Amino acid sequence: MKILGQAPDRHGRIWEVRVLTFEESEEEDFRFWHDELTPEQRVVTTMDCLADCLKAQGIDELPRLRGISRVLQREGG
């Protein structure tokens, strides 16, 4: 990994510009999604990414998506 520079944002966070190998980028991506984000943040971020992707294709609003639910079963039941 090679760090090219750092810069603070208006919230006081420090951002880095790094050059990574493919393997390092895979590990960094996994770390970001699984270690830094809560499940709720992952859902919101995924929706934002989908909206940005559709806007790039000229679609201004999200299509209505089917609801997703999870059925939990009790142990021994």
Global pTM? 0.50
pLDDT tens by residue, 50-62: 889 999 999 888 7
In eight-state DSSP terms, residue 75 is T
| Residue 2 and residue 21 in contact, taking contact as beta carbons nearer than 8 Å | no
Domain ranges of the chain: 2-56
Q: Render pLDDT for 1-56 as a digit per residue (tens, 0 to 9).
A: 788 899 998 888 898 898 999 999 999 889 888 888 888 898 888 888 888 999 99
Closest CA to 65 of 47, 52, 49, 48: 47
d(CA 46, CA 37): 11
Burial of 7 (C-beta count, 10 Å sphere; 0-12/13-18/19+):
exposed
Provide CB contacts within 8 A for 24, sequence distance 6+: 1
